[in-house]
Structure 1
Amino acid sequence: ILKGDLNYRRLVGDRTWDATTPFADRTAYFPGAVAALRTLKSDVMVGLEQKTLDALERSGAAWRTSGTHALIQVRGAT
């Protein structure tokens, strides 16, 4: 279990990926199941569904960096 924005960025490569890039693809190198818990404080984001991304973008808010949104993402063991 990884907690926090910095650990999330380390986990997925700390790049501005397309937000719909699958979380499992970006974490496939990790040697076991992984869960990431974070409050969004940076632009780094993966694993969103397109409809969710569209709704967040339409909101006009700085949702990626404001700390007002959070997420939990999980990838089981492969």
Structure 2
Amino acid sequence: MKKITVKEPITGETLVLLGQPEDYNGSQGWRIITPEKDSFVMIEQDGTWQVVDDEIHPEIVEAIGKALRTYARYNSLS
């Protein structure tokens, strides 16, 4: 599991989320878990992150995607 810290783009509040890799219909995805234990799945397709099982504000999805992309790049080098 990965701890993800992002700035909520609408309110500027710092969000601390957890990300867990998850298979989504054969695609590599991430289950994002909020402090309230709600969760949703994100996948990256053609360089764009999207939520597949809920509706999340696009700017928040973009901020989480940037954090995940950095993590994915770091892991691919090891």
TM-score, shorter chain, exceeding 0.5:
no
TM class by smaller structure = under 0.3
TM-score, length of structure 2 as denominator length: 0.25
TM-score, length of structure 1 as denominator length: 0.25
- Structure scoring higher RCO (CA < 8 A, sep ≥ 6) equals 1
